Structures are given as C-alpha cells and as structure tokens.
C-alpha cells in the first residue's frame, strides 16, 4: 500500500494554486488545463508546473491518464482550506421594482463556483463608508483574490504607508492614487504601496429586524 500525504497543510502555496487551476478548469470546461495554460495563469515556467504536478501525483491528490492530454483530475483526497458546504437552493426570482407574477425556478446557487479563481481567496470585513458609492458598506464582507497584478480602477486591498485600506487604484505619472468612492474622503497618494489583493465580490448579511414593541 502506498502511503500518501494529502493533508492540505503539507502543500506549498504554489501546489495549492496548481490544484485550484485544475479545479477551475474542470469546472469551467469539463477538462483540465494543460501544463502550459497553468504556467501562463500563474506566471511561472512549464517545467515548474510539471514539478508541482509530479509532487501532487506522489501525494495522491492528482491523477493523470497516460498519453492523454488534459487528463489531470483531483482525487477525493484533494482538500482545500476553504472547503465547506456552499450550495444553497435558488428557488426563483423576485421583483425589486413593480410586483410581478410569482415565478418559481428550481435551481441551485453555488457560492464556490461564483468566485472561481486559481488564486488564494480571503474574506475581509469592511469597516467604514469610504467605498459606499461602489455599494461596499460598513459591515460588508469583501471576497479578495490574493494577487498583485492590477488594472486601473480595480478595487484593491493595499498596504499604504504601513496601513491597510480598501480603495480603487490608479497609476498616475510615477505615483499611485488610492481613490475612495465617497466624496467625503480625499484620495490617498502613498509613498509606499503594496497591493495585497483585488476585490472580486461582496457579501452582505441582513440581520432580522427586531419586532417593535
């Protein structure tokens, strides 16, 4: 019997990213990405991806069919730190304007597949209202993809002059502008800025209203 070490804690961060690429590809397309496609997504070489895949094969987390392209597949032993039941019933639509006839549509809503990404994701609770015009409110939870490559206008989590902040980022003539989405707050022009992630979603929980006495 071959002993495998499938505990997620024994994986390197890069091996976990490779597993996420395989999972995302199979969910989106029904087959796995090629080694080159994984390399392109992660910004590393094909040979480095090959080495990580070989390590995952030895750990029993991935299988591969001989002489068959796009055949990488995660095994049941492959676990992710964020794995939890995330599928809830999607039972229809509801009008937020004028009332419409009730319409029932039995389906499911998968939180996991909604935020599919090959990168590590984290959730951060928002404090303050500086991004209110982007519909990000105090108490919301933002879903953040941990990566540093960004485009102008992306809403990012940034370490600006030693302090964490949530703002839209813009590059301007050799400097960075972190722009709030609230006219009551001025833009920030940090001397040092490290992007820690890009917001890909917002979750808001409404507490039940207390009954009036």
Same domain for 136 and 193, yes or no, is yes
**CA 123 – CA 98 distance, rounded (Å):** 34
- Which of 107-121, 122-136, 172-186 is the least confident region? 107-121
**Residue from 3, 32, 59, 167 carrying the catalytic annotation:** 167
H/E stretch holding 199 reads strand 193-203
Q: The domain spanning residue 195 has which CATH number?
A: 2.10.109.10
The answer to whether position 172 is within a domain reads yes
**Per-residue pLDDT tens digits for 20-34:** 999 999 988 889 999
**CA 41 – CA 47 distance, rounded (Å):** 14
**CA 117 – CA 192 distance, rounded (Å):** 28
pLDDT, residue 8, reads 47
Is residue 130 annotated as part of the catalytic site, yes or no?
yes
Q: Which residue range(s) make up the domain with 125? A: 121-203
What pTM does this model have?
A: 0.54
The answer to whether position 81 is within a domain reads no
The answer to whether position 148 is within a domain reads yes
**Residue from 6, 59, 130, 191 carrying the catalytic annotation:** 130
pLDDT, residue 173, reads 87
pLDDT, residue 62, reads 94
Helix (H), strand (E), coil (C) string for 79-118: CCCCCCCCEEEEEEECCCCCCCCCEEEEEEEEHHHHCCCC
Same domain for 128 and 183, yes or no, is yes
The answer to whether position 100 is within a domain reads no
Q: What is the mean pLDDT of residues 154-170?
A: 94
Which residue, of 58, 74, 90, is where some domain finishes?
74
pLDDT, residue 148, reads 87
Number of Cβ within 10 Å of residue 147's Cβ equals 17
Same domain for 127 and 193, yes or no, is yes
pLDDT, residue 85, reads 59
The answer to whether position 51 is within a domain reads yes
Beta-bridged to residue 142, according to DSSP, are: 124, 202
The answer to whether position 105 is within a domain reads no
Higher-confidence position of 101 and 128? 128
Same domain for 198 and 125, yes or no, is yes
**CA 144 – CA 121 distance, rounded (Å):** 5
8-state DSSP, 182: S
Task: Please state, rounded to an integer, the average pLDDT across all residues of the chain.
Answer: 83
The answer to whether position 49 is within a domain reads yes
**Per-residue pLDDT tens digits for 72-123:** 999 988 887 666 656 555 555 545 555 555 455 556 666 666 777 778 888 8
The answer to whether position 27 is within a domain reads yes
Q: What is the mean pLDDT of residues 138-164?
A: 92
pLDDT, residue 93, reads 55
pLDDT, residue 95, reads 53
Higher-confidence position of 78 and 213? 78
Domain tally for the chain?
A: 2
**Per-residue pLDDT tens digits for 32-44:** 999 999 999 999 9
Residues near 163 by beta carbon (within 8 Å), at least 6 away in sequence: none
pLDDT, residue 97, reads 55
Degrees (nearest 5) of the Cα angle 111, 114, 119?
105
H/E stretch holding 15 reads helix 13-29
Q: The domain spanning residue 56 has which CATH number?
A: 1.10.10.10
List the one residue out of 80, 58, 64 whose CA is nearest residue 3. 58
């Amino acid at each position: 019997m071959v002993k495998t070490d499938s505990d997620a804690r024994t994986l390197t961060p890069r091996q976990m990213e490779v597993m996420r690429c395989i999972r995302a590809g199979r969910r989106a397309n029904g087959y796995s990405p090629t080694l080159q496609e994984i390399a392109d997504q992660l910004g590393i070489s094909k040979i480095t991806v090959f080495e990580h895949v070989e390590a995952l094969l030895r750990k029993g987390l991935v299988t591969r069919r001989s002489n068959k392209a796009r055949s990488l597949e995660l095994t049941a032993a492959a676990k992710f730190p964020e794995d939890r039941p995330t599928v809830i019933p999607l039972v229809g639509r509801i009008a937020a304007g004028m009332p419409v006839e009730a319409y029932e549509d039995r389906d499911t809503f998968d939180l996991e597949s909604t935020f599919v990404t090959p990168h590590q994701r984290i959730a951060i609770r928002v404090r303050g209202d500086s991004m209110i015009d982007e519909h990000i409110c105090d108490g919301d939870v933002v879903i953040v993809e941990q990566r540093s490559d960004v485009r102008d206008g992306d809403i990012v989590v940034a370490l600006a002059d030693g302090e964490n902040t949530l703002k839209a980022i813009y590059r301007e003539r050799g400097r960075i502008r972190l722009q709030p989405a609230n006219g009551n707050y001025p833009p920030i022009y940090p001397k040092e800025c490290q992007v820690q992630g890009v917001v890909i979603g917002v979750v808001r929980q409404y507490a039940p209203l207390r009954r009036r006495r």
